[in-house]
Chain A
Amino acid sequence: MSGRRVVITGVASQWGAELARRLERDPSIEYLAGIDDAPPAVELERTDFIEADIRSPLLSRLLPGTGAETIVHCGIRWFPEPGKPSRVLHDVNVIGTLQLLAACERTETLRSLVVRGSAAIYGCEGPAPCFFTEEMARRLPLRTRFQRDASELEAYIDNFARRHAEIVCCILRYQPEIGPGLDSPLVRYLSLPVVPTQLGFDPRLQLVHVEDAAGALEAATRNPARGPVNVAPSGAISLSRILRLARRPFVPIPHPVFGPALERLGRRLGAGPLYGDGVRLLRYGRGVDNGRLRSDIGYEPRFDAVGAVRDFASATGSRRIGPSLHPGDLAGRLAGFGR
């Protein structure tokens, strides 16, 4: 990789900013630009910040001027944020991607396009295969708005890739992230003082550690593979074990009232509603196969599914104040005393 010119859209997002920070350290990248509608929260040294809304046709005039060889699209939003209500999400995700692709058509220097997408395209069903591989997208009905959006924007990118065989289009399908210090609805859910779960369901989950999430994005930018690539840790872990490792007491509630209850509780405790397919994810879970990430992109995740949760638990557990009254500790002290 020599003399690469990289443009990151959605650079104000956590992932875009982190990618820019990592690429800045690499002297072989001669030019780095970031596009977003607000400046990134972190200080970037040599990244050109271009203020533009990804939904505007202005992008088609801006992008060719940068002479970009690689475009990394981090602007897909998974959950509403202050100032970006859920109504806007569809616009940003689908129309934004369309505008970006239109701009890519005019950028003649373009060699590769990397998109940070979502594994929501596989859907969330009880009887789903335990580990989806990349060719199994859209096998199951897409039930939530976010799942349909994920599917729609991938369809546009597929179409673009078919017409431009010379451009490597890589779609990363991310499982939800977890990590100390990460601010996402799922992490806020796991940090509730008492975590509601769905009675009788214990989903298998794969949560990507923030470090692996950023690492995979960087690896894909440097070495993109054609087509979709799942980004997930190896293995899987059930929600009940996550909560036990994180020392969170949980109350099972009947699944039909889980969604509304969480919304109420979440608003009061500042956790916010779960994004996209979160409620279904916490009922049925989802597992994907990360074989392509390891072989084609060449990125080996540092944390497996259990390791990511352990790291999260050890970082959040130290914030606890007062004596630990966890039933597991009590039983352990009784069993271990005088040995």
Chain B
Amino acid sequence: MSAQPETESMRPPSAESVADFLRRMRVGIEDGLDPLTAAQRAATELPRTVRRALDRLSRRLQGEYYEDEWGFDEEFAEAVYPLFEFLYDVWWRVEVDDVRNVPSHGRALLVSNHAGSLFPFDASMILGAIMKEHPLPRWARFLVLDWAFVLPFISTFMKRVGGVPASTHNAARLLDQNELVMVFPEGAKGTGKQFSDRYRLQRFGRGGFVEVALRTGAPIVPVAVVGSEEIYPKLADARPLARLIGAPFAPVTPTFPWLGPLGLIPLPSKWRIAFCDPIDLSEHGPDAAADRRLLFDISEQVRETIQARLYESLVKRGSAFM
């Protein structure tokens, strides 16, 4: 499995090679061949990159590709990677601290703060940080708000890039398969908070993530993401609309919905992602998962770690946009 996206074969063919192909095909047809054979003959002269792209296309159309039991499709993830790479490098100029705290193999639970009201990009940027900066890059899976899996297109997209519906069953099964799993315990409360509450962590659910970590013996890596709060500053909430479409909230930002689709362009804030020291829970054993008090203690410890790191990163980052 190549971790680095294979960009070579994705590049569109140059105009010359297309013209060359068409010219040779015409010659073939004039020689009295049927179009299919002519196309085949002309294709022999195509550059290797084009032939490889055609080969890949053919495999995909025939269903000869790999997707795992969760619907994660690595080739698809690699194909959409350049878009997120652009956001990562150019748009948000992400800086990363201590990426080596992410284990290079085996199970681990990444716990992060959650923000970005319209479309929370923090999962994709953490993913990008691990893929780009880690010495041994690997794809991480992430738990997604349930509501996303009712929606057309979004549900399919999330599934193909490694998202699963937020449920402790899914998280536990993924960790048992030694995957890297990303969770956002704040959930919709984190993404839906007002701009004035930015970088103030909300309640951490019911501590389900600690339960899963204890049961599977996975270490917890707290992650503090700075920059995600400024991409879509949420000024107000259109509650009736949210209720109408069944969404947890319907944000109103300085640009959305005023500028229409243009309002969906996130603001170019500056990001800083910090991976904190892993918290090893193996000393407690799997039976400790039933201990409510322990769950809340650990949950609170993780929350405080992230909150402290957020303040630290905010100071390091300085100005939000420059």
Contacts and interface: CB of A to CB of B under 8 A. Distances in A.
Interface of A: 126-131, 133, 136, 198-202, 204, 234-238, 241-245, 247, 255, 284, 287, 305, 326-338
Nearest to A246: B63
B58 A328 contact: yes
- Interface of A, helix, strand, loop or mixed by DSSP: mixed
B41 A337 contact: yes
B153 interface: yes
B305 interface: no
A133 B170 CA distance: 11
B63 A244 contact: yes
A199 B152 contact: yes
B101 interface: no
Contact of A126 (B43, B54, B150): B150
A333 B43 CA distance: 9
3 tightest A-B contacts by CB? A200-B152, A328-B61, A244-B63
Contact of B70 (A130, A255, A331): A130
Nearest to A127: B146
Contacts of B151: 126, 200
A326 B61 contact: yes
A202 B173 contact: no
Interface string B134-171: 00000000000011011111111001100011110110
Given A234-B69, A333-B40, A335-B58, 15 more contacts: A126-B155, A126-B165, A129-B165, A129-B170, A131-B173, A201-B156, A202-B71, A202-B160, A204-B71, A237-B67, A238-B71, A255-B152, A305-B69, A332-B55, A338-B44
A130 B55 contact: no
Interface size range of chain B in the complex:
35 or more
Nearest to B41: A337
Contacts of B44: 337-338
Contacts of A131: 69, 169-170, 173
A329 B58 CA distance: 6
A337 B52 CA distance: 12
A201 B148 CA distance: 12
B301 to A, nearest CB: 28
B77 to A, nearest CB: 14
28 contacts: A126-B150, A126-B151, A129-B165, A129-B169, A129-B170, A130-B69, A133-B169, A200-B151, A200-B152, A200-B154, A200-B156, A201-B155, A202-B160, A204-B71, A234-B69, A236-B70, A238-B67, A238-B159, A244-B60, A245-B63, A255-B152, A305-B69, A328-B57, A328-B61, A334-B43, A334-B54, A335-B51, A336-B58
Contacts of B2: none
B165 A128 contact: yes
B62 interface: yes
B39 interface: yes
Interface in B237-281: none
Contacts of A202: 71, 156, 159-160
A182 to B, nearest CB: 20
Contacts of B149: 126-127, 284
B61 A327 contact: yes
Contacts of B173: 130-131
B147 A335 contact: no
A194 B275 CA distance: 50
Contacts of A236: 69-71
A127 B147 contact: yes
Contacts of B41: 337
B215 to A, nearest CB: 14
A138 to B, nearest CB: 15
